[in-house]
């Protein structure tokens, strides 16, 4: 039991770092700004979440664990605000999204 | 304080990778013409710098770098940008002289750094005068850095804290919500 | 595993930096910078564990706050052209 | 008053979290600063229904978070699969629909949840009209009258 939790934490950490990489690849591959935004949100949700969970499993119920939770909450509340502000500013500045089918809106 | 000397291979690797990333950031920064992008990228540079400072174990400096470099200076630079155009003009001259000058300064600095003691060398001169006295913890504050900052260098720190509080006040002013007399218009 | 995760995060920063360099719009660069901020925060947390000194997570918290504030400051500037402008005063 | 007290407790807890020292002097200092900040915030009139929302239906919030988490993981997995697919199977779509929340806070929670889920970003938010950019047509189609919409409306205290 004492061995298993840190091991699981390590796995979560690796998976999270992997998702961060995937998100960064998406940042490079996606065709326009609005689609890149979706790739970035993979980093901010699954990537960050898994990494923080992994560290949490290694830290256990300590002060450090509580701080990790704080960081998680911060990302949870702040990152969508920043993303939304960014998308809205882009639209207001007249940056048109590339759409799959131009006729719908 | 059982710190390892030097650090492991992976730490060296991380520090070097961060330095390379910072160099890349600066190259991008120098080539960008749009000044908004420059402000953004200098924020990125500050973040990388602060991470590097943590890797080098200078946590308090990293904290200040993050707060001032990525927080306050972004705001100040944006304020300055309001007063000028957002595209940088093409330089009138070829930049060879400034390039040579900064290259020479860089080489000079590297030459000077060769004489410095190794990182985290306990026999370095800086660790042999007052540092042991600080470490004996005369002032009953649990954290050594805090003891030095708040007690031995109190006035100094007062100035620093003023800077950080000013940053905080600026940020509050920035994020202040607008009041509408007639109820809620969602932003 | 901590080391591997650290390296992967560094690679992520490098890729995002590439996006910031390529642009093409300012918003792409802002997006990349925001991602770099988030990843730098994670890197700091993981690095603290790697060093065996996880009590430096405070710094990661500061990073997170500053990252958000920086992005919002820039965007506010974009929308209004002024940082402290009230809607009432215009 | 309830807001001030709850705000004070949150601040004091935050202090404890950051300091991690439990000597009487430091505890008193923490409580003192939290009290001072709460007092200033009260005087500056920062604590209203938006600044420190205690009026939500907290039972619904507690069941909403795990559900949202599950949704996030599902769609993040989907988006990462699309990123790694060599053909890049995306069909970016803008969708407009009417959310059913009544208060500003409910709208904000709904919009934030949409943005937090990878694959959809709320671009414009106003009462009665959301404009959402989605990575796929299916993602855009499932927005109006979704379970998320219903659950966010349930968060608002009647």
Q: Do B187 and D21 touch (CB under 8 A)?
A: no
C86 in a structural domain = no
Number of domains observed in the structure of chain C: 1
Q: Give bridge partners of residue D126 from the DSSP assignment.
A: D129
pLDDT for residue B70 is more than 80? no
C85 in a structural domain = no
Q: Taking a C-beta distance cutoff of 8 angstroms, is the pair D114, D143 a contact?
A: yes
Q: Do D118 and A105 touch (CB under 8 A)?
A: no
Against chain B, the chains showing at least 3 CB pairs within 8 Å are: C, D
Identify the domain containing residue C45 by its residue range: 2-80
pLDDT for residue B182 is more than 70? no
Residue B111's pLDDT is what?
93
Q: Taking a C-beta distance cutoff of 8 angstroms, is the pair B33, B87 a contact?
A: yes
Q: Do A82 and C78 touch (CB under 8 A)?
A: no
Each residue of C26-63: pLDDT tens digit?
A: 788 888 888 888 898 888 888 888 877 776 777 788 77
CB < 8 Å to C42, chain B: none
- For residues D99 and D67, what is the distance between their CA atoms, to the nearest angstrom? 19
Each residue of D72-84: pLDDT tens digit?
A: 888 888 888 888 8
More confident residue, D131 or B187: D131
Each residue of D78-107: pLDDT tens digit?
A: 888 888 888 878 788 888 887 777 777 788
More confident residue, B75 or B184: B75
Q: Do B47 and C88 touch (CB under 8 A)?
A: no
Least confident of A49-53, D3-7, D55-59: D55-59
Predicted ipTM of the assembly: 0.79
Q: How confident is residue B105, by pLDDT bands cut at 50, 70 and 90?
A: very high
Domain boundaries, chain A: 4-92
Q: Does B99 touch chain C if contact means CB atoms closer than 8 Å?
A: no
- Count of C-D CB contacts under 8 Å: 3
pLDDT (mean) for B18-22:
91
Task: Find out whether the peptide bond into C24 is cis, omega within 30 degrees of 0.
Answer: yes
Q: How confident is residue C90, by pLDDT bands cut at 50, 70 and 90?
A: very low
Q: Do C58 and D18 touch (CB under 8 A)?
A: yes
Q: How confident is residue D49, by pLDDT bands cut at 50, 70 and 90?
A: low
Domain boundaries, chain B: 9-88, 124-177
Each residue of A46-59: pLDDT tens digit?
A: 888 899 888 888 88
More confident residue, B150 or A47: A47
C54 in a structural domain = yes
Least confident of A21-30, A95-104, B151-160, D133-142: A95-104
C87 in a structural domain = no
Residue D158's pLDDT is what?
55
Distance between B11 CA and the closest CA of chain C, angstroms: 9
Residue B104's pLDDT is what?
96
Q: How far is CA D71 from CA A69, B113, B146, D147, in A?
A: 20, 53, 44, 11
Closest in C10, C59, C82 to B82, CB measured: C82
DSSP string, B58-89: -HHHHHHIIIIIIIIHHHHHHHHHTTS-SBPP
CB < 8 Å to C8, chain A: 14, 17-18, 20-21
CB < 8 Å to A30, chain C: none
pLDDT for residue B98 is more than 80? yes
C89 in a structural domain = no
């Amino acid at each position: 039991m004492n061995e298993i939790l840190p091991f699981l934490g390590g796995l979560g950490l690796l998976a999270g770092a992997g998702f961060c990489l995937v998100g960064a690849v998406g940042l490079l591959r996606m065709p326009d700004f609005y689609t890149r935004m979706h790739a970035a949100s993979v980093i901010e949700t699954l990537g960050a979440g898994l990494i923080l969970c992994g560290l949490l499993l290694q830290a256990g119920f300590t002060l450090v664990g509580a701080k990790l939770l704080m960081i998680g909450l911060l990302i949870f509340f702040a990152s969508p605000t920043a993303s939304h502000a960014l998308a809205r500013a882009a639209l207001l500045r007249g940056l048109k999204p590339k759409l799959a089918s131009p006729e719908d809106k | 304080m059982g710190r390892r000397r030097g650090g492991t291979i992976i730490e060296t690797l991380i520090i070097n990778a961060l330095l390379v990333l910072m160099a890349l950031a600066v190259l991008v920064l120098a080539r960008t013409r749009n000044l908004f992008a420059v402000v953004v990228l200098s924020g990125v540079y500050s973040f990388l710098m602060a991470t590097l400072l943590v890797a080098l174990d200078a946590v308090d400096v990293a904290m200040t770098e993050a707060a001032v470099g990525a927080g306050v200076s972004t705001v100040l630079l944006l304020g300055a940008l309001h007063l000028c155009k957002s595209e940088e003009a093409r330089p009138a001259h070829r930049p060879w002289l400034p390039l040579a000058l900064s290259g020479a300064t860089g080489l000079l600095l590297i030459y000077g750094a060769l004489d410095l003691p190794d990182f985290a060398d306990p026999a370095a001169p800086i660790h042999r005068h007052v540092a042991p006295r600080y470490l004996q913890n005369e002032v009953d504050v649990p954290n050594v850095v805090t003891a030095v900052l708040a007690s031995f260098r109190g006035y100094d720190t007062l100035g620093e804290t003023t800077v950080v509080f000013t940053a905080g006040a600026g940020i509050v002013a920035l994020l202040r919500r607008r009041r509408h007399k007639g109820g809620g218009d969602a932003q | 595993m901590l080391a591997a995760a650290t390296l992967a995060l560094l690679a992520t920063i490098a890729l995002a930096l590439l996006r910031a360099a390529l642009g093409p719009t300012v918003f792409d660069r802002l997006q990349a910078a925001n991602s770099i901020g988030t990843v730098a925060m994670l890197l700091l947390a993981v690095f603290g564990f790697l060093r065996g000194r996880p009590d430096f997570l405070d710094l990661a918290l500061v990073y997170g706050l500053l990252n958000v504030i920086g992005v919002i400051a820039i965007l506010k500037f974009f929308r209004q052209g002024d940082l402290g402008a009230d809607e009432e005063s215009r | 008053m309830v807001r001030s007290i709850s705000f004070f407790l949150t601040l004091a807890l935050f202090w404890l979290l950051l300091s991690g020292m439990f000597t009487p002097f430091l505890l008193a200092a923490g409580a003192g600063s939290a009290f001072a900040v709460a007092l200033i915030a009260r005087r500056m009139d920062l604590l209203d229904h938006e600044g420190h929302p205690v009026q939500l239906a907290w039972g619904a919030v507690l069941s909403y978070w795990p559900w949202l988490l599950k949704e996030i993981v599902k769609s993040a997995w989907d988006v990462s699969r699309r990123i790694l697919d060599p053909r890049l199977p995306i069909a970016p779509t803008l969708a407009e629909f009417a959310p059913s929340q009544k208060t500003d806070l409910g709208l904000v929670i709904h919009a934030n949840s949409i943005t937090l889920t990878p694959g959809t970003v709320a671009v414009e938010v106003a009462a009665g009209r959301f404009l959402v950019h989605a990575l796929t047509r299916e993602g855009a189609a499932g927005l109006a009258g979704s379970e998320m919409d219903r659950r966010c409306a349930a968060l608002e205290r009647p």
